Amino acid sequence: MSGRPTRSAGRHNALADYQTIKLEHEAAVSWIVLNRPDAANALSPQMLDEFSHALERLKTEGAPAIAIRAEGRGFCSGMDLGNYGSNDSGPPDIMSDRERLHRNVERWLAMWDHPKPVIAAVHGYCLGVAAQMCVFTDITVVADDARIGEPAVPIGGGYIAPAWVHLVGAKRAKEFAFVPGNWIDGPTAVEWGWANHCVPLDQLIPAVRGLAERIALVPSEVLRIKKLSINRAAEAGGFRQALSGIAEMDSLLHLAPAVLEVRARMKEHGLKAVIQHYKVPPTTPLTVTEER
């Protein structure tokens, strides 16, 4: 079905034609489909705005449950670095950088606070901020080809892994964050508690659809209160508080001399060459494996 908002979309009507996502409605589930396969579904400013717009619409439109999937070979490669400073000529403006980062956390919290259950259906690569994004969904189902990973270039300052702590624990979050390009596969994501289920790739969409159909048997008002109650329990354990300073810490680190030096190398030699520098194979087998 079309992802075109109706006139009732009000202040969002400037986004009348989605170009980077699609909306597809079924009886039990409305799909938000990341649709930049030629760009590895990297999160551009336009995609982020369209994603937020779709979530807002689906508060009052569509099916009882929401699911997020992606076109192409993988779910999402993270932030579109072409839009976020890998090619610019100087250091970032710390205030605008902080506002951008904080705004993205608020986008994910819109899933956490959404009146409907939100399910992530992850296949292939799920990297960087995409691995943060899925934490905020209510349920995550991964395909057996999934690779959930940290950014390959260490230019961030604890923006992604802190959101993982309430799911996987501090030690696993630290191991994940400390090694550039670290990734876990689908079965490990379930073992760690990051995902609910791992299924064969060809069963991913049917599995999520079937889960949504079972969820939709529960009245929407009941689902809403169940979600609120469980979220409050998680927040009592510090989930929302843990997110309160990550934008500030990340934006400050973006001005550190070591990070500016890496950014300069990215500009001079290109992103792929810098990524290659950080690809160091493990000397002994580990559950978490560096990016190949």
Q: Please give the chain's pLDDT, 292 residues, in tens.
A: 333 333 333 333 444 589 999 999 999 999 999 999 999 999 999 999 999 999 999 999 999 999 999 999 999 999 887 655 444 555 667 777 777 787 888 999 999 999 999 999 999 999 989 999 999 999 999 999 999 998 777 677 778 888 899 999 999 999 888 887 888 999 999 999 999 999 999 999 999 999 999 999 999 999 999 999 999 999 998 888 888 777 666 676 677 777 778 778 878 777 777 776 767 666 555 555 444 4
Give the residue ranges of DSSP H helices in the chain: 45-57, 94-112, 129-133, 165-168, 170-178, 186-192, 204-215, 220-236, 239-242, 246-253, 257-269, 271-277
Rounded Cα–Cα distance for residues 122 and 134 (Å): 9
Listed in sequence order, the residues at least 6 apart from 19 whose beta carbon sits closer than 8 Å to its beta carbon are 46, 50
Residue 258 has a pLDDT of: 74
Pairing of strands 29-34, 65-70: parallel
Provide the token pair at 241.
């508080």
In this prediction, residue 64 carries a pLDDT of 97
Beta bridge partners of 79: 43
Cα 240 to Cα 287: distance, rounded to the nearest angstrom = 28
Q: Greatest CA span in the chain, whole angstroms?
A: 59
Length of the chain: 292
Amino acid occupying residue 8? S
pLDDT at 11: 36
